[in-house]
Amino acid sequence: YQPQMDLRSNRITGVEGLIRWQHPVRGLLLPADFVSLLENSGMIIPVGEWVLRQACKEYRLRREAGFEDVRVSINVSAAQFNDAHLLDKVRRALQDEQMPQYALELEITENILMRDPVSAVAVLRAIHALGVRIAIDDFGTGYSSLAYLKRFPLDVLKIDQTFVNDLVNNPGDAAIVEASISLAHKLGLEVIAEGVETAEQFEFMRTHDCDSVQGYYLSQPLPKFELIELLQKRV
Ligand code: C2E
Ligand code: MG
Ligand code: MG
């Protein structure tokens, strides 16, 4: 889990769940090493449901440690988003794990949404009706439509790290980040910047009214108990 910090309160208000595979021979694997394999084999459906369940179970672990205000977001792949049972699976996970719906957020990339925007609107509405938050991930990297951005029921826009990396030296990237923050706010969305690694990038987000940040500057993704230790030190 990687913490997300609210720049107004300076508190950790969310975490993103990022899958890892502890492989018996190859060691700890990152999503780049195996997520496309899961997608191509269809395994992403059961594994994605496992991720959802773990996120809810481990939210409960944090709540018991006194951190019920820290919500959790998980990444939803294309196959999961197109799965006719997605809504049922989310509803059941919330029920079985006694997870408050407002503490769960689903991250969906703009590429997934834009593949079939008309049915995406319907799926997003149904998720939203459950009270679950929706974030648009990797914003600005794909083929996106502003007309649909306006129509999708979204809560959060995640500015992709490719725009954050070179922000301080590249006026083009700085302009894109500023414009994205302003666009998001005018559409009533919260904005979070991903991949914030340096004090300069952090300060840029603060002075340009970005709502939250996530990145190595605050913390790398952490195993569940280390995350609780970090929260105990700095929430
Ligand atoms: P993402 O959702 O955009 O996640 C952000 C990625 O950026 C994560 O990589 C995170 O570790 C990395 N990151 C965070 N802060 C920094 C930083 O300051 N600098 C740099 N250079 N990188 C940073 P990770 O964990 O390797 O995940 C990569 C992608 O794999 C994710 O991108 C997401 O699309 C996918 N993914 C991760 N977990 C899951 C999952 O449970 N299900 C599915 N379907 N996809 C997942
Ligand atoms: Mg994500
Ligand atoms: Mg992203």
Tell me which ligand sits closest to the C-alpha of residue 31: 1
Residue entry with tokens 């369940």: 53
Is the model's pLDDT at 234 over the cut of 70?
yes
If you measure from the C-alpha of residue 218 to the centroid of ligand 3, how many angstroms do you get, rounded to a whole number? Answer: 16
pLDDT at residue 235, rounded to an integer: 58
Asked whether 195 lines ligand 1 (CB < 6 A), one says yes
Q: Once rounded to an integer, what is the mean pLDDT over residues 145-158?
A: 92
If you measure from the C-alpha of residue 139 to the centroid of ligand 3, how many angstroms do you get, rounded to a whole number? Answer: 8
Find all residues with CB under 8 Å of 203, minimum gap 6, and list them. Answer: none
pLDDT at residue 146, rounded to an integer: 85
- Three-state secondary structure call for residue 23: strand
**Closest protein CA for atom 8 of ligand 1:** 18
pTM for the model: 0.97
- Going by pLDDT thresholds of 50, 70 and 90, the confidence category of residue 2 is very high
Tokens, residue 197: 């690694």
Asked whether 35 lines ligand 1 (CB < 6 A), one says yes
- Going by pLDDT thresholds of 50, 70 and 90, the confidence category of residue 214 is very high
Asked whether 31 lines ligand 1 (CB < 6 A), one says yes
**Closest protein CA for atom 45 of ligand 1:** 75
Angle between helices 31-41 and 44-64 (to 10 degrees): 130
Instruction: Provide the mean pLDDT of the chain.
Output: 96
Convert the pLDDT of each residue in 89-148 to its tens digit.
999 999 999 999 999 999 999 999 999 999 999 999 999 999 999 999 999 898 878 888
Tokens, residue 78: 């294309």
Lowest mean pLDDT across 63-67, 77-81, 141-145, 227-231: 141-145
Tell me which ligand sits closest to the C-alpha of residue 17: 1
pLDDT at residue 172, rounded to an integer: 97
| b/e sequence 215-225, b meaning 16+ C-beta within 10 Å | bebbbebbeee
Asked whether 161 lines ligand 1 (CB < 6 A), one says yes
Angle between helices 199-207 and 171-186 (to 10 degrees): 40
**Closest protein CA for atom 2 of ligand 1:** 75
pLDDT at residue 148, rounded to an integer: 86
215: left (phi over 0), alpha (psi -120 to 50) or beta: left
Task: Provide the H-helix boundaries in the chain.
Answer: 31-41, 44-64, 78-81, 86-96, 110-115, 117-129, 146-151, 161-165, 171-186, 199-207, 224-234
| Cβ atoms of residues 152 and 189 within 8 Å | no
CB atoms closer than 10 angstroms to residue 89 = 16
Q: Once rounded to an integer, what is the mean pLDDT over residues 15-38?
A: 97
State which of 1, 4, 15, 18 you would mutate to test the pocket of ligand 1, scoring each by most atoms of that ligand within 8 A of its C-beta.
18
Is the model's pLDDT at 224 over the cut of 70?
yes
pLDDT at residue 1, rounded to an integer: 98
Asked whether 137 lines ligand 1 (CB < 6 A), one says yes
Residue entry with tokens 């949404």: 113
State how far the alpha carbon of 223 is from the alpha carbons of 15, 19, 22, in Å. 12, 10, 12
If you measure from the C-alpha of residue 109 to the centroid of ligand 2, how many angstroms do you get, rounded to a whole number? Answer: 8
Q: Once rounded to an integer, what is the mean pLDDT over residues 3-29?
A: 97
pLDDT at residue 81, rounded to an integer: 97
Q: What is the atom index within ligand 1 of the atom nearest the CA of 138?
A: 3
Find all residues with CB under 8 Å of 8, minimum gap 6, and list them. Answer: 211
Convert the pLDDT of each residue in 54-73 to its tens digit.
999 999 999 999 999 999 99
Q: Once rounded to an integer, what is the mean pLDDT over residues 15-21?
A: 98
